[in-house]
Structures are given as structure tokens and as C-alpha cells.
Amino acid sequence: MTPPATTAPATLLVDGTWRAAAESYRRTDPTAPERETGRYASATPADVADAYAAAARAQPAWAGTAATERGELLRWAADLLEARADEATEALIADVGKAHRDARGEVLRGAAILRFHAGAVLQASGGTFSGADPSTLLMSITEPVGVVGAITPWNFPVAIPLWKIAPALVYGNAVVWKPAEAASGSAVLVARLLADAGLPAGVLNLVTGSGRALSEALTQAPELDALTFTGSVGVGQRLRLAVAGREHPAKLGLELGGKNPAVVLADADLPDAAEQIARGAMLQAGQRCTATSRVYVQDEVHDQFLELLVERVRAFTVGDPRDPATDIGPLASAEQRDTVGGYLALARDGDATVACGGGISDGATGFWVEPTVLTDVPDDSPLVRKEIFGPVLCVARVSGFDEALRRANDTPFGLSSAVFTRDLATAMRFATGTRSGLVHVNRETAGVEPHLPFGGLKDSSSTDREQGMAARDFVTHTKTVYVRPR
Ligand code: NAD
């Protein structure tokens, strides 16, 4: 099913029909901001209300289909995504300027996410119990929560929506999805793909448009049972308050920002640590919630490590994201360029010493930024405290493990962290002492597998985990059943 060609873009999928809106917005190419990449309908609150009503109508019949059938549909969607991988890769590059290798990798990961959940739905759930009455069978069963709202960011335009939508659908829920405006092209492609795979009308609804303008409609719909959000801490906090103020409760899952530390100890394999940390900080132009943004290096090896790191960072090719040889494309948008540019100005104005990089384009010819390594940054500088979401890494000197762990943990965030050491006992001390939801030993802080739980501590997440079997908990509820046969 393809959105019909009209002058007004019909990018809202509501109750199985593609519809336009009175207002629309345009997106432009991050490598050439004068080039339009697409126009998209600006959904109104009434469109969102229609989408929720359609989801609520469609959900019971969808939950009534066999789990094997729902899984098969996701498998078919995975096949379709692979068959359309070139188109999806191009949509993703046009949306956010992601380097070809990463864009294609994300598309294939999207297919892997769909396949994981297709199989996961047949795993055991619930349980049986013994109790006070031998003639009564006691059990708990899982059921779909009902209608799931999903609000997604732009930095993984295919993977993040799919790791929310796939488990919601496979466990029998209906979904209303509001993607980031910058990821609109990829979102239309993903919604079309799932419709083409055979999803019944109303089971997945797509509303493109401004999150702020649609916020009340997205959070206050009476049909909403669970809202899952990935994005910035600020918007996450607003959503927490909005959902708390609802008349009828709804579940809320938040995946927010990071300021992820890596610790390099004196016994580490330094060239390998430099390679891992350079990749973790700079690939995808640092626009990953799990990107490495602070490094604490033991005094004895600090200078040697810094030299290796700077050499490796300078070797990255920054350029045209459509060229398969490019390592790092532009930042995703003018807003991103302005934000990252502000932090680089702070560094130049005395908050740091620039070990390499620091340059940023004026924005007229694309949103390019040089991978940047900073030293001598005070611990209270915004460069150390705030999520920059760009290819900017702060390196600091520490006396040893205890100071490194203390400073690594000195942040409101707690998404991912890494330690570089050859000593297993030290690695385990770090793994248990670090205040983050993900820990890597001798690996970059970014990079996750779809079958493992994912999420952070402190301000980085609510307590729920996404991905893997953990994803089931959010999109299902537990019903307790007492059976006394007669
Ligand atoms: P954002 O918070 O600006 O926007 C995310 C989504 O929320 C978008 O769809 C946006 O339209 C919508 N939105 C904005 N204001 C809203 C409102 N008032 N009510 C409802 N929806 C609203 O984030 P972004 O710039 O798209 O993404 C970057 C952020 O996402 C970074 O902070 C990054 O760390 C975070 N992120 C976190 C994870 C994770 O899993 N922890 C993964 C990727 C990105």
C-alpha cells in the first residue's frame, strides 16, 4: 500500500488510510540545506484523536489473532525491509545524513529486531503456582496492555521505532506512532512496510508533525494505555508530568539522554582503547545516546593515550554520507549544528584546550563538524555536565581507579560506561561500581544487540528496559487466574 500521490502530502496513516492535512512541513538535506528531501503532513490534535480511536477499535481483533500469525507478519516485514534496504538506506541518509555504512547497518538491524520479536512471542510467559487450596490451579498470564503510544527521536530513524513497535504489535497491541520530524521520510517508509506486510487497518497508525503541538493529544487520549518515549531529558520530564496528570493512568517508559564515560587504566591495551573510544565518541557524528563523551585516563599513560586518540580521530573521513568510504556524515539538522556550535564556542572561549578538531561549518553548505577532542575541561563546565550530542570528547587525567570511578559517576546521567583494563578483578569492580544501565569492558560505550535488555539509570531512563525479552514487560500486563474446576 503506497501513500497516494497528491499535492498535499498524505503521510498520516490513520485506520488503514493515508491522509493529508491542511498544513505541511518540509525537510531538507543535511548535506545541502537548500535541497528539499520531502514534505509531510502536520497532523492536528483531531488526527491524533482519530488515530487513537482507530487503534482502540482494531486492537481486540488483533489481540485475538494467533501469536504465530502476528510473528509471521513481523517476519514478512523483516523480509520486505531487507528487500527494500537500498531505498530505506537512502531515506535514512536523506533524513539525517547518517554515513552509508551506518545507515545500511541500521536498516539490517531493523530486520533483526523484527525477527527477534517474531520468535520471542512464542517464548514462555507467566507461571503456575502452588497455594492454599489443592483443588485450585493458580497461574499468571500475560495480556496486551491495549493501545501503545510511541514517540521517537531522529537519531535512529528505523531501529528505535522498530524496537518499540515490533514488541507492541507482536504481543497484540495497537500503536499510535509520532516520529521526530527530522526522521519523517524513514517513518513513512517503515509504516508503509508494515502495512504492506499485512497489518490490519488501525493496528499501526502514523501521525507526522510537531511533538510540542501534538503533546496534549498524544498524552491525554482516553484510549492510551502505555506511552513509550525516546528523546531528550527535557521532553521526557514534560511527558512524565503530563502522564501523571491523566484522569486514567497509563504506563510510561522513558529512554533519555547520556553523558557516557570511559575509564582507561594504566594496564590497558592503549592502541585498542584509542580505537574503541574514538569510534564510540565520533561515529554517527556523536549523535548516539550511548556515545562516549568523557574519558578518564590514569596519569601514567595519559599523554601516550591522548596522542594515540588524537591520531585515530584525525584519521576519520568526514564527508558525503552517500559515499561508502565516509566514516562520519554531517550533523542531522540546523538545530543540531547550532547546539554543537555553541559548545565548541565555549571550548574556544577558554573552557578547554582543543587537542584536535573544533571546526564547524556555517550551515549554509551543510552541517559539518570536525571530530573534536578537548582537554583541561573543568568538571563543572557544561562541556562535561551536558549532553552535547555531537562528535566532541573531553579527556581528563586521574590518579587511579577510585578517582576515575568517582568522576565517571559524577553526572545526572547513567546510560552507558566503559572501562579499559587487562585485569579482570578491576573490570568487575568497575562493572559493579559504575552507575549506568549498560557497561562495556574493553569496548566502546555504544553498540547494543537486540536480544539484550537496554536502558539506563538515574536521569537516563525510567525503570523499564527495552529490547530483548524485557520489552515484553512494558507492552503486556499480568493477569492472575485462580481456577477451581467444577
Ligand atoms: P527530542 O526530545 O527533542 O524529541 C523526541 C521526540 O519527542 C520527537 O518525536 C519530538 O517531536 C517529540 N516531542 C518534542 N517535544 C514534545 C512534547 N512536548 N510532547 C510530546 N512529544 C514531543 O529528542 P531528539 O532531539 O529527537 O533526540 C535526541 C535525544 O534523544 C538525545 O537526548 C538522546 O540522548 C536521546 N536518545 C536516547 C536514547 C535512549 O535509548 N536512551 C536513544 C536515542 C536518543
- The pLDDT tens digits of the residues spanning 378-426 come to 999 999 999 999 999 999 999 999 999 999 999 999 999 999 999 999 9
Whether residues 165 and 239 share a domain: the answer is yes
Residue nearest to atom 28 of ligand 1 (CA): 231
Marked catalytic residue, from 90, 181, 223, 289: 289
Closest CA to 381 of 371, 366, 394: 394
Whether residues 232 and 297 share a domain: the answer is no
Whether residues 219 and 341 share a domain: the answer is no
Is 255 catalytic? The answer is yes
* Mean pLDDT in residue range 148-162: 98
What DSSP designation does 268 have?
Answer: S
Tell me whether residue 1 is in a domain.
no
Task: Give residue 292 CA to ligand 1 midpoint distance, Å.
Answer: 19
Encode 68-78: b = buried (16+ Cβ within 10 Å), e = exposed: eebbebbbbbb
pLDDT of 3 strictly over 70? no
Whether residues 271 and 252 share a domain: the answer is no
What residue type is 375 in one-letter code? Answer: T
Whether residues 19 and 142 share a domain: the answer is yes
CA distances from 40 to 157, 182, 209 (A): 15, 10, 8
* Mean pLDDT in residue range 474-483: 98
Q: Which residue has the higher pLDDT, 365 or 93?
A: 93
Helices 184-196 and 85-96, interaxial angle, to 10°?
A: 160
Tell me whether residue 41 is in a domain.
yes
Write down the residue that cell numbers 561549518 correspond to: 361
Tell me how far apart the alpha carbons of residues 443 and 311 are, in angstroms, rounded to a whole number: 19
Task: Give residue 75 CA to ligand 1 midpoint distance, Å.
Answer: 28
Task: Give residue 355 CA to ligand 1 midpoint distance, Å.
Answer: 31
What residue type is 340 in one-letter code? Answer: V
Whether residues 189 and 164 share a domain: the answer is yes
As for how many domains the chain has, the answer is 2
* Mean pLDDT in residue range 191-215: 98
- Please report, for the domain that includes residue 343, its CATH number: 3.40.309.10
Tell me whether residue 444 is in a domain.
yes
Q: pTM value?
A: 0.97
Question: Euclidean distance between the first and final Cα of the chain, in Å?
Answer: 51
Protein residues with CB under 6 Å of any ligand 1 atom: 151-155, 160, 178-181, 211-212, 215, 218, 230-232, 235, 238-239, 255-258, 289, 387, 389, 415, 460
Tell me whether residue 2 is in a domain.
no
Whether residues 300 and 181 share a domain: the answer is no
Is 394 catalytic? The answer is no
- Please report, for the domain that includes residue 174, its CATH number: 3.40.605.10
Whether residues 90 and 165 share a domain: the answer is yes
Tell me whether residue 292 is in a domain.
yes
Task: Decide if 336 contacts 367 (C-beta within 8 A).
Answer: yes
Task: Give residue 30 CA to ligand 1 midpoint distance, Å.
Answer: 19
Whether residues 343 and 252 share a domain: the answer is no
Tell me whether residue 7 is in a domain.
no
Count the Cβ atoms, other than its own, within 10 Å of residue 340: 23
Which range marks the domain in which residue 135 is found?
Answer: 12-256+461-483
Whether residues 316 and 200 share a domain: the answer is no
The beta strand positions in 84-220, using DSSP E, are 127-129, 137-144, 147-151, 174-178, 204-206
Tell me how far apart the alpha carbons of residues 167 and 308 are, in angstroms, rounded to a whole number: 42
